[in-house]
Amino acid sequence: MDHAEIGSMGARAISEGIASKEFSAREVTEATYARIERLEPAIHAFNQLTPDLAMSAADRIDALVAAGGPLPPLAGVPAGIKDNMNLVGTRTTCGARMLEDYDSVYDCTAVRRLLDAGALPVGKCNMDEFAFGSSTENSAFGPTRNPWDLERVPGGSSGGSAAAVAAGMVTIALGSDTGGSIRQPGALTGTVAMKPTYGRVSRYGLVAFASSLDQIGPFSRSVEDSALVCNAIAGKDPFDATSVDTLVGDYTANLRSGVEGMRVGIVRDMLDLEGCDPEVREATVAAAQLLAEQGALVDEVDLPTSRHGLAAYYVIGPAEASSNLARFDGIRYGRRSPGAEDVVDLYMRSRAEGFGAETIRRIMLGTYTLSAGYYDAYYGQAQKARTLIAREFAEAFQRFDVLLTPTSPTVAFKLGERAKSPVAMYLSDVYTVPLNLAGLPGVSVPTALAPSSGLPIGVQVVADHFDEATMFRAAFALESSAGFVCTPARE
């Protein structure tokens, strides 16, 4: 097996090839690292590679094959892990100087479940610092570049995970999504990128950004692979009180059932938002037409309150972040600045040295909106808007089985293009944020290349709470009819 072959294979093909002894899990691992050695210097998708962990996992898979025992469903599949998820034997840096030397002392539940399903832990993927960003330019360890165009961003904050999958350096990867940090980089890199319902996947072991919004989900190069990963990581976890005890089932079981009679709503007012590129709008409308040609019942729907989602999110998210990041003070966790005169000076020096500009901006914003005299005016109002958005979605799902929106208003933008304009950067998540506020599942499916740039466009498929099965079925039908193939990597 060579590095080019492993870069084009899906999860099922890899696990079946290992089971049939066409190749071994160790050969898969060797080919994976050979490909990374070739491509990684230009892309910088990883903060840490973990070949010892991956080889040990591969040897365990090969031992199972030799013994003739049953293999787990993701046996020998190379996987990347976003660098805000704990795994013993790795550092968990969150892309920040504050945690650059932090060694994981326990496992994130979603990561452990992925590895128990047979996946190989290839490495920890680069990200915007503490998941604050939409471009992976805010990482303290340098930006990640988009495999489709190395002068462009891969999106964020899970840009390293997205780029690693898009370039074929891993087959699957885990990311976290607080306001679009899985789906938006998926759209910009031409990968399938999925956020489950809030509570579907445990958050235990994920370094928190905003606890009422965060959710872990997969990147892959196919809807089927995404469904396979969700099979592995979903389900109740006693270590996470917000995880929900609902039936998971097999998300691959009805992928090929088609969309005949499925009610699909295309969200009209989201298409009309200022800043939506005409090529993105056209691709979303074309995606709806593809589903209609397969028998879906397509109609338009308005979600007028959702246009206020971004404003509500940038009050609620930073407020929760300012509380969650208080622990990184140089005493309990994180970088400790030398030479401090007293404890207050230690706090100020450690946090000033350990946090980047965007992290400081969001902590200050969140602390301000929670302060006396402003809580009701900002945080209270944002929570009311959140309730209205969730109610509006609930009404829409009385009429429709799934909804379609763009994932990102534009294709991948150039490195540095929005770095000095936080508002322009925040607008990258205008279509994804409402789902986090409402706790809904969504998946970005690449459907087309923009004619003007040749860069991928993603369409977002949204379903009701805990109805990932219907979402995957619609996404698979869209993927099959669109015929998009993720092939950006330079050999």
Are the beta carbons of 188 and 408 closer than 8 angstroms?
yes
* The pLDDT value given to residue 342: 87
In a domain, 299, yes or no: yes
Residues 268 and 362 in one domain: no
Q: What is the pTM of this model?
A: 0.97
Q: 215 has which bridge partners?
A: 177
Sequence-ordered list of residues with C-beta below 8 angstroms from that of 250, at least 6 positions apart, any chain: 231
In a domain, 490, yes or no: no
Residues 190 and 270 in one domain: no
In a domain, 401, yes or no: yes
Residues 334 and 300 in one domain: no
Residues 298 and 332 in one domain: no
Residues 264 and 177 in one domain: no
Residues 82 and 25 in one domain: yes
Range of the domain at 115: 3-233
Residues 282 and 162 in one domain: no
Q: Which residues of the chain have pLDDT under 50?
A: none
Angle 175-424-370 from CA coordinates, rounded to 5°:
75
In a domain, 418, yes or no: yes
In a domain, 87, yes or no: yes
Alpha helices in 44-108 (DSSP H): 51-67
Q: What is the DSSP string of 273-300?
A: STT--HHHHHHHHHHHHHHHHTT-EEEE
In a domain, 274, yes or no: yes
In a domain, 206, yes or no: yes
Residues 317 and 290 in one domain: no
The catalytic site residues sit at 82, 157, 181
Residues 81 and 129 in one domain: yes
CATH number, residue 414: 3.90.1300.10
* The pLDDT value given to residue 3: 82
Domain count within the chain: 3
Residues 302 and 320 in one domain: no
d(Cα 483, Cα 386) in Å, to the nearest integer?
A: 36
Residues 110 and 177 in one domain: yes
Nearest to 258 by CA among 478, 445, 1: 478
Q: How far is CA 348 from CA 203, 272, 323, 333, 341, in A?
A: 29, 45, 16, 14, 11
The count of other CB atoms within 10 Å of the CB of residue 468 is 27
Are the beta carbons of 336 and 346 closer than 8 angstroms?
yes
In a domain, 393, yes or no: yes
Residues 41 and 7 in one domain: yes
**What would the pLDDT profile of 159-171 be if each residue is shown by its tens digit?**
999 999 999 999 9
* The pLDDT value given to residue 210: 98
d(Cα 21, Cα 352) in Å, to the nearest integer?
A: 54
Sequence-ordered list of residues with C-beta below 8 angstroms from that of 142, at least 6 positions apart, any chain: 44, 126
